[in-house]
Chains A and B, each alone.
Chain A
């Protein structure tokens, strides 16, 4: 029932399963000169966005016979991180993945060609543990499926190959919201700034002074209410016939009926498959 055809992630996994190197994504690979790179895996350019708990360092666990990576540690706005996000181990090390919170899995994004690591795709909860012994040297990129959009990604480097930054230039920062966002915020901030300047200026100060004086002047007489308004024509109970209200309410009635018919029979009944059982 797993259909790899229709989503990009599915496409990548299909390619990995076939044993090929994931070339389409342009992420990590063993590079020609023997160095390795994460590519843009941890940045906002790759799917899932920036990884909050990756600070650029790769924890060096070479020499350790067993290494533990926490699955679902705090990070990325909740329990949505691998800890540590990037780690380097010797070939032949057994890595234990320890679930410390619920609803996570391990899906392999890319790995060295002959490695054949399947990850652990069933969703597991706190307390679950999974082990894999990493033999093949190179860079392994992996993520947690339900929390990929939050940035739950990680990497393991096996062996001593030098880790370098991606050869392409860094991502260019674009204003969120595009041109409309720029225009909007410019207008908002500009107007607010202008208002503040006006208020803080000499004009503003003297306006406050004049207001103060006028208020004090008006308050100098004893406190009293205004006189009640005298109606131009007094209408008693029997003099008043609300025919104006009747006219408006007939209009309202018609609007209600038209809108109801439109929403129910056009919008609702025309809106594609409906629950019939």
Chain B
């Protein structure tokens, strides 16, 4: 029986989450196109350079906060419902959905109002909203509601697990639910930082209830959250790579226990690394930065382990399909299946993104590329492909099951991930090289006229050629996005019924849950250790800043 027939209420909730998610993806993606053309100087007719920052804020918030959170919440509903074999979409579920929706609308209104002069409402603060730049209060309130809504979504999953546990006292936590719970434990621990920043400091400050905030403290609270949030995006992609990709490859997951180990490592190590976004900040002693560096380097381990396990699971599928040889087994994979192609290519791209992440993490090496356009080059490979392309591709497999409709426009669906991969290769490689030449990020114009000495010299290739690649790559990405939206739109409009091209059967792993040590399922233990690690990393610096005055050295709001 299909998912939509077995769990109709959950299917409806997931479809609602996906609708909001893909809507945000569409608008955010359009903004991305405008940026790619404006920033490179190819076409600046859409917006002024001042309004570019409104576009940039919209792109960051809609994609990195709304597209991601709604997709993850909906996808996790599927994962928990399916693996616990119970419906979880009740009143609580719709509560968190509508709370997140209200937050989204508020934040979006604050941002888009920046295009309308004379309204006095704007939020040109970008996705990181650093104080003392100040947005309109409804921006912060909207962001806070999205975060709180996501907490309630987590409660929804945990309560479902508790119900299941009461009925299955001795069983191992089903793998997908295990992954959802560990991801959310990490999310609760990490989002506390930004929640404090926004609710305790920025909202009262933007409303005028307090006069100043300490910019270094608020920035640190943001990055306490800002690093683990990327794992909040990555881990759902890992859920797909570990549990769905092997089946799409025609095989089985190599090892359930190893997957559990990886997720536990992420729970432990994701948060005590935030200072690596602040390597070049004054006011933070070098010792704390060094510890953040070592923690971050160790955080490479679960991802490197994932590389092996996931590729090996794909190899299993390829060999079951008849593949031979050291490398030629790759040809036996289903490169004509859109879901497989997107997920596999996003994994490949993540391997490259992982390297540029290593460079970012390298303490003094960070001087080379901090705040250059290398950084967006990096994260378009990671959240922009490993997350986004996986999300789009798994939707080709999942959407028919949650809607009861056959996937339409299959040729477009197959072209889409290849086009995304190609466009991203062009755009991201140019961004990396331009960053090495010193080209800054988050800026509207490609050049600085009239200032002697500001010259960008590429090591391989010229700056003009890099700009062109970014423009072309960005355009191809937008076309690919349009293809995705067309496929999903057509599928939505198609009539329900018929034999689907997909099935939801996920075979057992080669090495199953029974081989995993029981201690891995002890979520309380891992959470406690994670909290201790965070206290060790952040305790001293945060305490020092709180003790010297939580609002000093303080700055008043500066509206942008």
Contact = CB atoms under 8 A, between A and B. Distances in A.
A225 B408 contact: no
Contact of B501 (A211, A226, A263): A226
A226 B397 CA distance: 12
Which of A47, A188, A220 is the most central at the interface, judged by chain B CB atoms within 10 Å of its CB? A188
B43 A219 contact: no
Contacts of B365: 263-264, 268
A235 B319 contact: yes
Interface stretch (B104-112, B192-200, B309-317, B383-391): B309-317
A4 to B, nearest CB: 14
Given A215-B406, A222-B497, A252-B307, A176 B50 contact: no
Contacts of B498: 218-221, 223-224
Contacts of A225: 1-2, 401, 499-500, 502-505
A8 interface: yes
B308 interface: yes
Interface in A232-252: 232-237, 240, 242-245, 247-249, 252
A271 interface: yes
Interface stretch (A21-29, A92-100, A115-123, A177-185): A177-185
A223 B5 contact: yes
B459 interface: yes
Contacts of A185: 37, 42-43
Contact of B329 (A180, A244, A259, A267): A244
B43 A223 contact: no
A218 B505 CA distance: 22
Given A77-B48, A216-B495, A223-B5, A180 B500 contact: no
B94 interface: no
B429 interface: no
B320 A234 contact: yes
B496 A219 contact: yes
A274 interface: yes
A180 B322 CA distance: 49
Interface in A138-185: 150, 176-177, 180-181, 184-185
Interface stretch (B223-231, B354-362, B538-546): B354-362
A206 B511 CA distance: 52
A275 to B, nearest CB: 7
B159 interface: no
Contact of B503 (A184, A228, A271): A228
B368 interface: yes
A54 B408 CA distance: 55
A184 B505 CA distance: 46
A227 B43 CA distance: 50
B450 interface: yes
B397 to A, nearest CB: 11
A6 interface: yes
Given A226-B501, A233-B320, A256-B355, A267 B325 contact: no
Which of A211, A225, A264: most chain B CB closer than 10 A? Answer: A225
A167 to B, nearest CB: 26
Interface string B98-118: 000000000000000000000
The number of chain A residues touching the other chain, given as a range, is 35 or more
A47 B449 CA distance: 10
Most buried by A among B1, B326, B452, B472: B326
- In this complex, which of A211, A219, A243 has the most chain B Cβ atoms within 10 angstroms of its Cβ? A219
Interface in B493-517: 494-505, 510-511
A2 interface: no
A65 to B, nearest CB: 33
Given A177-B41, A177-B42, A237-B511, A248 B505 contact: no
B499 A226 contact: yes
A240 to B, nearest CB: 5
A259 B355 contact: yes
A52 to B, nearest CB: 9
A41 to B, nearest CB: 16
Contacts of B251: 231, 235
A229 interface: yes
Contact of B367 (A76, A150, A235, A275): A275
Given A7-B451, A215-B408, 16 more contacts: A176-B43, A176-B44, A176-B45, A185-B37, A215-B406, A215-B495, A226-B499, A233-B322, A242-B315, A244-B318, A244-B326, A244-B329, A244-B330, A245-B315, A248-B311, A264-B365
Interface of B: 1-2, 4-5, 37, 41-45, 48, 50-51, 250-251, 254, 307-308, 311-312, 315-316, 318-323, 325-327, 329-330, 351, 355, 358-359, 362, 364-365, 367-368, 401, 404-406, 408, 436, 450-452, 459, 468, 471-472, 475, 490, 494-505, 510-511, 560
Interface of A: 6-9, 47, 76-78, 150, 176-177, 180-181, 184-185, 188, 211, 215-216, 218-229, 231-237, 240, 242-245, 247-249, 252, 255-256, 259-260, 263-264, 267-268, 271, 274-275
List 6 tightest A-B contacts by C-beta distance, closest first: A77-B50, A231-B320, A219-B497, A242-B312, A225-B503, A219-B498
19 contacts: A7-B452, A185-B37, A185-B43, A219-B405, A219-B496, A223-B498, A224-B2, A224-B498, A234-B320, A242-B315, A244-B315, A244-B323, A244-B329, A247-B327, A248-B311, A255-B355, A260-B355, A260-B358, A264-B365
